[in-house]
Structure 1
């Protein structure tokens, strides 16, 4: 059984940032990516996805995003950037390698891989993100809906929904973007428990992320005080607010029930619906840690700013609100990776 310094689980933005920081500390990480390329979940996002942060604020450590720093890169540009980053990263990256379980083993860890291979690691960084675990909330009557229900993780483009009656559940960036895109081809309602909260993408000629960086709000360690992340702001250049105000999509409170294909709204009215799209976010995809005792009863890691509270050689990168509001973003994972690798290096030096 091969032994390595640090096994990094996940080869997307978080795993690549962790690999970079570990190499900077003189450690030799092995990055284990389940898919066939080191781009994480980005290739599987919906076709029209465009970053709401400019290229100048969307880089991993050591390699700036190419091109005009003020532009907003498309999904495929992010994929190409991550593949270039992986190519230049001085680390052992193994694609097509899925980790099934992690167990404590003689002061370190033993990883069980798909196919039966075992790997021994002195430390582990869990950087597998959330995309593999879409959140499907309990909504009244949803389980009995007679037509199509899909999560935003399975949505690609609006063409298959031409002329349909569609309800998009959610009030965050993905929910509003998908609903507005569908609203050009279908009759769409955006249903949520809370109103949509818009934030202006540019103020006084500067992008919102410039202001976040200049004021220090982007790096403020608010994660240590939050038990539940606050409701998300929809970053908007005016397009999405205008679409909602024009009724394409219209916005309503969450439906009160479902009977077959009929949805009952809060005001008592009913109508038939063809498709419900759940843009309801994700939860940490960390099932491989279940046998280690590192997770709580809801599958969330027990950690403090990315450092495990149960195992000193275990750390996390890419959790939502891990430390700051940018912790699970391209611009934020590098900072968090640097913090946790510093602590891991100290731990490994002490044993």
Structure 2
């Protein structure tokens, strides 16, 4: 019987976080493989809605080592441009990505970790989990969701306003996805935008560059034992990218309070008022996609795995990357994932006792 292949590091996930990890592992001379569940490069970006654009210019949306080239005619590149950039990045650095490979579980196996997948098994001295959140959309437990006879979909299933032309559509959620999809639909559908609280639009001149700076300033303050600056949350909830700004200024983005329940043909608010609707789009966020790590028994409060930096507190051979601020400030963004990816690779090199260049 042939033994499973062994490498120094298995990186699970071939999106932006996995590629950034691969870049730094390669620089440190560490043997690794990237296992990606997708059939093509680009991570979650290849599944985004048609009108999605970055919050920042290309040069400020780059992975380590390679600036994203500008997109002709666009100050803020679209999702397709990002997919092309990630595919080029993967090829340029000859990153060893195997796809499609769906990891089913990570197990302790003596001094190693055993990574079981649909196409085989790997054994590794360390694992970097970089599966992100897109694959685990969150739907709130709103009463009546099961009796509503119209169409319900999450952010991950929305593509364009074409399918909703002339319909009354409720968009739920006051974050960036909710605002962008509401703005996309507003000229084409009878829009109801509902949020838990009044949306907080960031100043029009703030984009991803400022958000990254705010996240970095918060990290530095916390590291120094200073007061929490609030980071990105202190600035607001919605980046006023051009389509959102245009819809807002045209009076098309007027949020209403969140309804209390769904009825068979619409929604109902606390005061008893109702609205008949054809569809509900839940822009209600995501949870970290960590089911493959369940065999390790590491889950803590709120479904997260406690970490120190990127390293799992209770399993020193496991690093988590790209899930949000709890795995590195702004680590779920293109520009922000580079530093925690570097930190994870260096920590692994120290664990192995290799000399860093």
**What TM-score results when the alignment is normalised by the length of structure 1?**
0.90
2:67 is aligned with 1:102:
no
More deviation in 296-305 or 208-217? 208-217
Match of 1:185 in 2: 188
Give the distance between the partners of 2:215 and 2:13, measured in 1 at CA: 32
SS in 2 for 1:41: helix
1:226–1:99 Cα change, 3 Å? farther
SS in structure 2 of the partner of residue 153 of structure 1 = helix
Distance 1:242 1:43 in 2: 26
| 1:237, distance to aligned residue in structure 2 (A) | 4.6
Deviation at 1:14, TM superposition (A): 0.2
Q: Conserved in 1, the CA contact under 8 Å of 2:35 and 2:103?
A: yes
2 CA distance for matches of 1:221 and 1:119? 40
> What is aligned with 1:78?
82
What residue number does 1:262 align with?
266
After TM superposition, give the deviation of residue 306 of structure 1 in Å: 1.4
Match of 2:275 among 263, 268, 271: 271
Identify which range, 213-222 or 24-33, moves more after superposition: 213-222
Change in 2 beyond 3 A, CA 1:214/1:189: closer
Q: Is 2:323 aligned against 1:319?
A: yes
Deviation at 1:177, TM superposition (A): 0.5
What whole-Å deviation, never above 9, does each CA across 1:311-335 have from its counterpart, x for those lacking one?
1110011011135542210001111
For residues 173-322 of structure 1, the aligned pairs below 5 Å read 173-202=176-205, 209=209, 213=213, 217=217, 220=220, 230=233, 233-237=237-241, 239-241=243-245, 243-244=247-248, 246-296=250-300, 298-322=302-326
**Which of 59, 70, 93 is equivalent to 1:89?**
93
- Contact map agreement 1:29 1:91 (CA 8 A) in 2: no
- 3-state SS, counterpart of residue 343 of structure 1: helix
Q: Give the whole-Å Cα distance in 1 for the aligned partners of 2:325 and 2:7.
A: 29
1:132 deviates by 0.6
Which whole-Å deviations, capped at 9, do the CAs of 1:81-133 have from their partners, x for residues lacking one?
00000001233210101100000011110011114x11111100000111110
Instruction: Give the match's secondary structure for 1:236.
Output: coil
> Shift of the alpha carbon at 1:56?
1.3
- Output the TM-score relative to the length of structure 2: 0.89
Q: What is aligned with 1:46?
A: 49
Residue 200 of structure 1 deviates from its aligned partner by 2.2
Secondary structure at the residue paired with 1:43? helix
Distance 1:291 1:267 in 2: 47
| Structure 1 residues 258 and 222, CA gap change in structure 2 (3 angstroms) | farther
Instruction: Establish whether residue 161 from structure 1 lines up as the match of residue 164 from structure 2.
Output: yes
SS of match in other structure, 1:312: strand
Q: Is the 8 A contact 2:9 2:32 kept in 1?
A: yes
SS at match of 1:252: strand
Q: Is the 8 A contact 1:22 1:28 kept in 2?
A: yes
1:166–1:275 contact (8 Å) kept in structure 2 = yes
Q: Distance in 1 between matches of 2:54 and 2:164?
A: 24
- Are the counterparts in 1 of residues 165 and 188 from structure 2 also a CA contact under 8 Å? yes
CA–CA separation in structure 2 for the residues paired with 1:101 and 1:33: 14
Q: Is the 8 Å Cα contact of residues 4 and 30 (structure 1) preserved in structure 2?
A: yes
- How far apart are the structure 1 equivalents of 2:300 and 2:321? 18
Distance 2:306 2:108 in 1: 16
Q: CA deviation at 1:36?
A: 1.0
Alignment partner, residue 153 of structure 2: 150
Out of 231-240 and 1-10, give the one that drifted further.
Answer: 231-240
Q: Tell me, in whole angstroms, the C-alpha distance in 2 between the residues paired with 1:111 and 1:42.
A: 25
**1:76 shift after superposition:** 0.5
Q: Which residue of 1 aligns with 2:139?
A: 136
Distance 1:222 1:330, change over 3 A: farther
